[in-house]
Amino acid sequence: MPELIIYHNGRCSKSRGALELLLEHNIPHEVRWYLADPLNKKELRTLLKKLGMKASALVRKTEPLYKEQFAGKDIPEKDWLTILTENPILIERPIVELGDKAIIARPAERLYELTGTPKA
């Protein structure tokens, strides 16, 4: 089975909840602390393809940085890739990747869809 990766922000309760489920079910995983180790453009493009999303759809619109600098602006889709790599706090979380698929694990129980783990 390919390695499961959780793109994790320890300050986010939803992200902590997803990580707790992985630990609860003893699902082998790697934690990518994406704020300390931001994705580069190639990694983000690959992840977006696995998510089946555009970069603009991955933006956390509730984030203060978004509200202060980007809300209400007509930003071309191609520019969001740069914005997200330079401001990883704007990336929706938690993202969980397994093989050629990825999901935003909100709620955390969405992990069951990706891993095939039966609900507890």
Least confident of 29-33, 38-42, 115-119: 115-119
* In the predicted structure, residue 21 carries a pLDDT above the cut 60: yes
pLDDT given at position 119: 64
| Per-residue pLDDT tens digits for 4-20 | 999 999 999 999 999 99
Percent of the chain predicted with pLDDT > 90: 87
* In the predicted structure, residue 72 carries a pLDDT above the cut 90: yes
Q: Give me the mean pLDDT over the 38-67 stretch.
A: 97
pLDDT given at position 114: 87
Q: Is 12 a residue of the active site?
A: yes
pLDDT given at position 2: 61
Q: What is the set of domains in the chain, with CATH numbers?
A: 4-115 (3.40.30.10)
| Per-residue pLDDT tens digits for 74-93 | 999 999 999 999 999 999 99
Give the DSSP letter string of the chain.
-PPEEEE--TT-HHHHHHHHHHHHTT--EEEE-TTTS---HHHHHHHHHHHT--GGGGB-TTSHHHHHHTTT----HHHHHHHHHH-GGGB-S-EEEETTEEEE-SSGGGHHHHH-PPP-
* In the predicted structure, residue 120 carries a pLDDT above the cut 80: no
Name the active-site residue from 4, 5, 12, 89: 12
Whole-model pTM: value is: 0.90
Tokens linked to 76: 């071309």
